[in-house]
Structure 1
């Protein structure tokens, strides 16, 4: 426990309550309290996007306070708090903004991962890592490589080889997965769960696993032998009395049947049926032929045997037995997981890799073993104020690693601020733990906490706010009762106190106030879809979806106003396919029915990109008719899209493709692809331009890093295509995304077409802690999640896991419902299975109808409010790319389109030096790629460039720092300083960039924006190197000619 006198503030921020506004206000307040505070404030978020938005909001607010005081709503409040006149506040804000911009590397607004990785980088030596280790983000790729290595070398480990065979047989017998390689990959995902990492900090030897499961099997065998012997005794008594199973009430299915089954093969489901034997009225009827003989059994000892068997099963021995059965079902998985873990460790060690998923575990050994000042000294900063956004998504390990730093800050007179909302905790699969916000932080800091509730909803319109207020109060209670019933049905004898009313307690603050200046109105439409078969539900939903979307268009809503939110990706595909098919039936809506999805943002999904790749493959294998056929199919698809004809109509026309024009291979790859684009007029497909240009940028970047052949590029592309996405989402279209992806966003109109997901997936597995059980020889259990767990030694953990799944479900639904600004449409099946969320939503809506009958249209629809008519708006065109720049042969050596246009202007300008100053100024603000938008905005604010040039400079800077030989200098896990002055007897030296790759090692970089190299540039960097070396550093110098994509080591 921490009992410090200082203060921790918790902002409880429900959806749409303005938490970013509140965070910015608090950050500004701390800056004004002490202008140098920005060097001592650490503000962490969970995504790069949120980080960028936070930085931009802070800087924009400071700029506005400096120039347009009245535009900041809380300006007067700040004046009053700090006893400042408006002009004094303006000057103070100007000074703070100036200081931040000139010391940007000390502006610590970053993702939590970036902050922790920065610590890892600076403690590489203590962790036994090479200074040049690589930080690996793609854990799935490492797992796949490691499993492949294990397969290839399995003959070296005969004991593991046998377990792999047994694992394969077990998976096939269970009917789960015949693809053993894929099954291992799926099981291996738990290796990066925090719970597993915490439980397996000490290495588990394979021999220990074998011994453990021998003990488990022995327990099972002993119990079943005892049961079998008792069952045989019971059968002996029945036989001795001249009876058989058919003589009893019920015939061949009589209550005595379990004896005969258990004597042959103990069956878990038959034990409970023994209870019926204890009631002798179940033995015979008045008309039973053997009634007299059966009656004599009462004094034969049969009841005592039955009671012994039933007590054995229901008592502690039975609980241990059922636990052992549960463990045994996954024993081969446990052994293989340990083998894969060792294979992963070996792979990372051999390739000098550090997995980003291991960051938090490694930090425990650093932070918990060191005092906070030492950590700060190593990373080059001292933090007195810590702000954590989206605290409900913080993991236990992350919080444990923050605790010493927060305690230190408080002890030094600093503060901590956390912002979050338990109801929006939907990332448990990424180790997010809402209990930290609900109770954990209060247990760690008892006396220091104050709460501030952001009680207004500034996002949604009145009817939507009121619906969500009422519905989720009702729904949380109904779901709690559902949980209690489920646990009772599973056989859980006692639900832990903390779970008795947990869901309603989490939603106790769900009711939000409606701001007086908020828009009235808003529209909610809840469709209950009646389908006689479950398989018909999707079809009926899509048909209703079409009706509602067309109504929106008629009311003046534009496609970009609409989003479809789904729990599962497969439903997104169904929606996209449906509206694509409807384009033929509704040609006037052909463009409006286009839907942008996360999958649709993949560059490889573009028809023009697929055509270019097919052509490149045909160039490599011109005799292969498959590639020619593929070219024709894709080309016809492109033509049909332009003419609004069907593909069949296009194919019935003349052979459009004809003889395939040949293109010389004696050109650079990006010129070859540019020729393909021109030959087939691919640049005329305006909706595809954004994909075309991004693909060309990828080709150019690849060409700069690699010796390029067409076959090499194709091979590389097939490995990378799943991770290549558009840098900016096309505008003007309807969108579809998962509910998880929608968090933090808002949309005018939200559709939720398939609200019918299961609380938990079938064949789910879970990790259990074996402490306080009879199976603690191994610290964890990997088990199948099923209701039988309720009668094992893992009953409490099972109850907690099911509760977590119920909370996951209601939270995901809450997040989705609170994205809507103007209108919300929800579609639920009228009849669904009890294991689906829709079952409880229908019950909740029935209760809602009783209370608010005025909203009911009929039994299938609840409608709240009216759908407003909007001013007719045109779809937003993608204004970033409206034409494709055409190359000529003399430009072969010039970069990709965006870069070419940028350099062309610099060449034609008579003020090349001024352009260099501009670029230097922008790069001064860039620590990492995430800072580019903010840096360009600053340049605009300072009048260095025009606002219309924003996207041009963003695109160019992004491309520049993504070069493989410079990207390291923009990795903020290193300590970075820009324009840092160094005093020398000859005067001040000011290198453009210093990157501290180790505690005493520096890389010094000077940018040049000229189109030719010069000796004086090298001499300048040599001087920087000399000065830094005299200060005791190990230094390497570089001149980076940005426009030439050239780096010279000095």
Structure 2
């Protein structure tokens, strides 16, 4: 029996979520009258998709091979009990189902929600009025950049738009900022691709530029009025002081009259944080020693002063509010125009950004009782599994509700209903910035919201199967103890009540919190790096491998710093920085070549090119200095590389030429291969040309990384976000002192009175502390955002601290100022608060440990054994076509192959000057595709038989001048080309290679070479013919 049709599982870290999902999936497909093709399982990442598919297939295979007398897995026995069937029946069902899935794999529907939406939109492209062959745009930054460029090109054509943009540029100059407004427009344009803004932007889309201009004029008018009111209020207070015979000295430190004078003089840079301002209504305005009659006068005026002061504060806050609106108004004014440019580019290229998927579907199903795009799918899918629900956006969920609701609330032909199995953990919701909504999951679990008639059955997965006992108990205790620091009650309860995981059979474990001393003048980055290195040494001393260790950072820049430091200290590292294509030396060299070829006066690129080429030379500085201004000649002379040829090729062909000429790839190179893939993609999508590619590369170089193998013996460095869903034996969490409330250019949408704001019902403002003083609505919005920041910070911390299996090392900062403060703004404050709560804190201690670090059974696996794939040149200069000769056709296949092999050996010997060249020559031939990998051993054996022969080996040693196939022009203009000349002290040895039978013409040819060389002044020491057939025969003439 399937049981309840709507289940929600609360799955904390390491609680066996994937196991539970797999079991529920298997339970569904192994039930009577249930087909796997009727199930849609949706998760968050491709990695999770692959893991779930793998587990399901492995389980089915295991079930199908489990005999009645075998010891079955726990899941096998559980399913027998829950489905009410015997072992043999389950075995047969599993076997049949596995066969069906493998033969109908396309119906095995486990995917990410984006992939599901993509397939849905492509299926109904015609109905949705979009191109059926549309291209999905994952990276919208480049699209936005082009749209803004196109918009700015229209300056001078559209009068109103031109006026708005010029005024915006001038206002930036007045604020001592760059007049370049493209950055601001790109920044505001990002709102177009952020799902959390879509509802607000839909409303603004109805507004025209003139509506925004009118609103701006209204706001400017209000700001001017507020400034006049401020001055009038200040002047009134100053007049009252003067009329009553008072002086500035009669007031406590002269604060009040000085403040009013400042305002009266038009200085509106005001601050209301001072103590006397905070208690203006109740505090005295004079000192105790003030004469009684003066006290009496001031006391009498104080009520009116209080009214004026309150008016000034409220008016000033309103002016700040209006100025904040005004600051975002011009970019918002042209947002619709930017969106039109984006749409134009997408239509021109048949593109659709992935961020539009949810909106496109939402717009189609809105207000439709039976959305047509779901009609066919509703018949296909009856059972739904949704993983990582806490990261599902509101729009994604609202789009799925009609589809799922149809399955839950209707019956099929057999009278059966569909089901929904939903898994999530609000404590691991760390993707709010891309639409994820923890509150959505909390509301479903608590029963506050439910879009279906059927009530959910709530389950909690109680145990942690990932970590060892000490790690689990520490996290249970830590998050429960620190939960009161959250100022939102539901968020507080989430960590207070929902964080008590049971332990498993893994005993032991270790947790350490280290605090660095924050002393003035110290390099904190260096301190963190040194502590991380010390921790790695400590872990290694216990027998752990490098690949047991993962370093988690919240900010990628910290990952780069750590990677550089650890690499310098001989620690093998895999990090986003180490895998970045743009950071590879050879890639940088190729990019510099592109820069220099397009701009020959780019001395920086020229210097970088020379530094790469001669960087290992003892006289590198003199070589660079002497060749920097004639770099082109240097490249031709030393490498036979002509910048003119390079520049006239496509970027792809040019780079391949450079790779060949500079011998950049000895065997294989993932970075260069990736670069060429990027070049090819850019040329196909954006056109050829060095400038086009470099423009793309400058904007996107930091987003291209190669994928690293999983089992390399190296320390992994990754962001906390990337670590979600993963587990590691040892986790090091440095820089554990993030600001809980830190944001980058945060914005707020605030509701306003339409009658006062030209029909606008909401405005966009910058989020800053002053917002709480604007009005009650603004204060509530600000506090709600702050509470969300607290939850997000705790969630990120929860993810970081729950990745460890055996040991967790936290490296934070001992901020003495923050220790004394009651406000907790950084992670270090949270750790210190916990230690104080447990009465463990000491001002003199810097290390706090729990449990013991032991390695009784190493978890590390052997590093993966890799076989590099040789790079293949396309070799356009010498295409590797196989040409069938007439002679070969006459003699037949065997003779043809013999002739071809003889020619190839002849060619290879022409590339070899000394014996040490053999390996590099064969490597080069393999990369160029001229020699198949399987043919190399035979060819190399034949070549070595020639150059190691006792009679010839002296002529393949270092110390002589060797000229292979050197052309000689005689007095009669005849051109001769001996295969090999070896010259030493004016004596010459001539070597010629031949295949086939001996002939008198061979001897005659060698004598001709000798006569010409003698006339050139050389003494002929040896004349040698080498016959290369099945055996090698050497003949001296």
Q: Tell me whether the two structures share a fold, i.e. TM-score over 0.5.
A: yes
Alignment partner of 1:430 out of 431, 434, 442: 434
Of 765, 770, 791, which residue of structure 2 is paired with 1:788? 770
Counterpart in the other structure of 1:471 = 478
For 2:219, the equivalent position in structure 1 comes to 216
Give 1:343 deviation, angstroms.
3.0
Is the contact made by 2:542 and 2:854 (CA closer than 8 Å) also made in structure 1? Answer: yes
Q: Which residue of 1 aligns with 2:20?
A: 22
Matched with 2:849 is 863
Is 2:764 aligned against 1:765? no
**Deviation digits for residues 319-342 of structure 1, max 9, x if unmatched?**
766543432343333324344233
Distance in 1, matches of 2:328 and 2:603, equals: 49
1:526 CA displacement = 0.9
C-alpha offsets along residues 41-96 of structure 1, whole Å, 9 cap, x if unaligned? 11111222222222222222212211246564310111122232222211111111
User: What corresponds to 1:633 in structure 2?
Assistant: 611
**Paired residue for 2:450?**
444
Over 3 Å counting, the alpha-carbon distance change for 1:635 and 1:107 in structure 2 is same
Task: Tell me which residue corresponds to 1:1043.
Answer: none
Shift in alpha-carbon separation, 1:67–1:797, aligned structure 2, 3 A:
same
**Structure-2 residue corresponding to 1:269:** 271
1:453 alignment partner, SS class: strand
**2:579 alignment counterpart:** 601
**Residue number in structure 1 paired with 2:356:** 358
What is aligned with 1:831? 815
Equivalent of 1:751 in 713, 726, 732: 732
Residue 40 of structure 1 is matched in structure 2 by 38
The structure-2 alpha-carbon separation of the partners of 1:172 and 1:698, relative to structure 1 and needing over 3 Å to count, comes to closer
Residue 610 in structure 1 maps to residue 591 in structure 2: no
Deviation at 1:465, TM superposition (A): 1.1
Summarize the Cα distance change of 1:694–1:332 in structure 2 as closer, same or farther, 3 Å threshold. closer
Q: Does residue 31 of structure 1 match 2:10?
A: no
Equivalent position of 2:558 in the other structure: 571
Match of 2:718 among 702, 712, 737: 737
User: Residue 663 of structure 1: CA displacement?
Assistant: 6.0
Change (3 A) 1:697 1:649: same
Task: Give per-residue Cα distances to partners, 1:979-1024, cap 9 Å, x unaligned.
Answer: xxxxxxxxxxxxxxxxxxxxxxxxxxxxxxxxxxxxxxxxxxxxxx
Contact 2:36-2:101 at 8 Å conserved across structures: yes
For residues 873 and 165 of structure 2, what CA distance do their matches in structure 1 show? 57
Range with bigger deviation, 676-685 or 338-347:
676-685
Q: What is the alpha-carbon distance in structure 1 between the residues aligned to residue 348 and residue 674 of structure 2?
A: 34
* TM-score normalised by the chain length of structure 1: 0.72
SS in 2 for 1:523: strand
Counterpart CA distance in 1 for 2:849 and 2:492 is: 27
Separation in 2 of the partners of 1:504 and 1:354?
Answer: 41
Alignment length, in residue pairs?
847
Change (3 A) 1:380 1:716: farther
Correspondences of 1:700-711 after superposition (within 5 Å):
none
Q: Distance in 2 between matches of 1:689 and 1:870?
A: 39
The correspondence of residues 918-997 of structure 1 with structure 2, limited to 5 A, is none
* More displaced stretch, 699-708 vs 857-866: 699-708
- Establish whether residue 806 from structure 1 lines up as the match of residue 790 from structure 2: yes
What do residues 669-691 of structure 1 show as CA deviations (whole Å, max 9, x unaligned)?
98986786677665558xx7443
Once the two structures are overlaid, the 10-residue window that deviates more, 24-33 or 85-94, is: 85-94
Shift of 1:649: 15
Q: Distance in 2 between matches of 1:837 and 1:230?
A: 36
TM-superposition CA deviations, 1:597-650 (whole Å, max 9, x none): 12322333222333455567788999998666434423566x69xxxx999999
RMSD between superposed Cα atoms in Å? 4.2
Unaligned runs of 5+ in 2: 411-416, 629-633, 882-1037
Question: Corresponding residue for 2:464?
Answer: 457
**8 A contact 1:525–1:826 mirrored in 2:** yes
Residues in 1 aligned to 2:190 and 2:172: alpha-carbon distance in whole angstroms: 17
Q: Map 1:217-296; keep pairs closer than 5 Å.
A: 217-250=220-253, 253-265=254-266, 266=268, 269-270=271-272, 278-279=281-282, 281-287=284-290, 292-293=293-294, 295-296=296-297
Pick one of 494, 497, 519 that aligns with 1:508: 497
Tell me what 1:80 maps to.
81
CA 1:881–1:620 in structure 2 vs 1: closer, same or farther (change >3 Å)?
Answer: farther
The aligned residue for residue 117 of structure 2 is 116
Q: State the 1:712 CA deviation.
A: 8.1
Alignment of 1:189 onto 2:190: yes
Mapped partners of 2:567, 2:529: distance in 1: 12
Deviation at 1:860?
A: 0.4
Distance 1:617 1:227 in 2: 57
Distance 1:87 1:631 in 2: 70
Query: If you compute each CA radius of gyration, which structure gives the higher value, 1 or 2?
Result: 2
Tell me, in whole angstroms, the C-alpha distance in 2 between the residues paired with 1:675 and 1:149.
35
SS of equivalent residue, structure 1 residue 17: coil
SS in 1 for 2:427: helix
- Are the counterparts in 1 of residues 559 and 577 from structure 2 also a CA contact under 8 Å? no
Aligned-partner Cα distance in 1 for 2:713–2:613: 25
Tell me the distance in 2 between the aligned counterparts of 1:474 and 1:508. 11
Q: Distance in 1 between matches of 2:736 and 2:372?
A: 51
* Larger RCO (CA within 8 A; separation ≥ 6): 1
Change in Cα spacing, 1:246 to 1:341, as seen in structure 2 (3 Å) is: farther
User: What's the offset of the Cα at 1:179?
Assistant: 4.8
Give the TM-score, by structure 2 length.
Answer: 0.73
Give 1:340's match in structure 2, choosing from 334, 338, 341: 338
Cα deviation for residue 187 of structure 1 reads 2.7
Output the CA distance in 2 between the equivalents of 1:817 and 1:433: 21
Is the 8 Å Cα contact of residues 426 and 812 (structure 1) preserved in structure 2? yes
Summarize deviations over 1:13-58 as a string: whole Å, max 9, x none. Answer: 1111111111011000000014642222111112222222222222
Q: Indicate the SS of the match to 2:815.
A: coil
Displacement of 1:256 in angstroms is 3.2
Matched-pair contact (CA < 8 Å) for 1:604–1:721: yes
Q: Structure 2 vs 1, CA of residues 173 and 746 (structure 1 numbering), >3 Å: closer, same or farther?
A: farther
2:892 counterpart residue number: none
Give the distance between the partners of 1:408 and 1:55, measured in 2 at CA.
Answer: 26
Counterpart among 52, 58, 61 of residue 63 in structure 1: 61
**Secondary structure of 2:501's partner?**
coil
* Counterpart contact for 2:832–2:841, Cα < 8 Å: no
Q: Deviations over 1:725-764 (max 9, x none)?
A: 3244472221211111111111222111111222334663
Deviation at 1:694, TM superposition (A): 4.5
Shift of 1:707: 9.8
Distance 1:295 1:837 in 2: 41
Q: Are 2:839 and 1:820 aligned?
A: no
- For residue 155 of structure 1, give the secondary structure of its aligned residue in structure 2: coil
Q: Please tell me whether the aligned partners of residues 738 and 826 of structure 2 are also in contact (alpha carbons under 8 angstroms).
A: no
- 1: CA distance between counterparts of 2:867 and 2:116? 36
C-alpha separation between the residues in 2 aligned to 1:374 and 1:683?
A: 55
Distance in 2, matches of 1:341 and 1:671, equals 37
Shift of 1:853: 6.6
Instruction: Give the deviation of 1:708 after TM superposition.
Output: 8.0
Contact 2:574 2:708 in 1 (8 A): no
Decide whether the 8 Å contact of 1:560 with 1:876 is kept in 2. Answer: no
2:6–2:454 Cα contact (<8 Å) kept: no
Tell me if 1:691 matches 2:671.
yes
Contact 2:518 2:813 in 1 (8 A): yes
Q: Could you say if the C-alpha distance between residues 559 and 692 of structure 1 is closer, same or farther in structure 2, counting changes exceeding 3 Å? A: farther
Are residues 21 and 833 of structure 1, via their aligned partners in 2, closer, same or farther at CA, if it must alter by over 3 Å?
Answer: farther
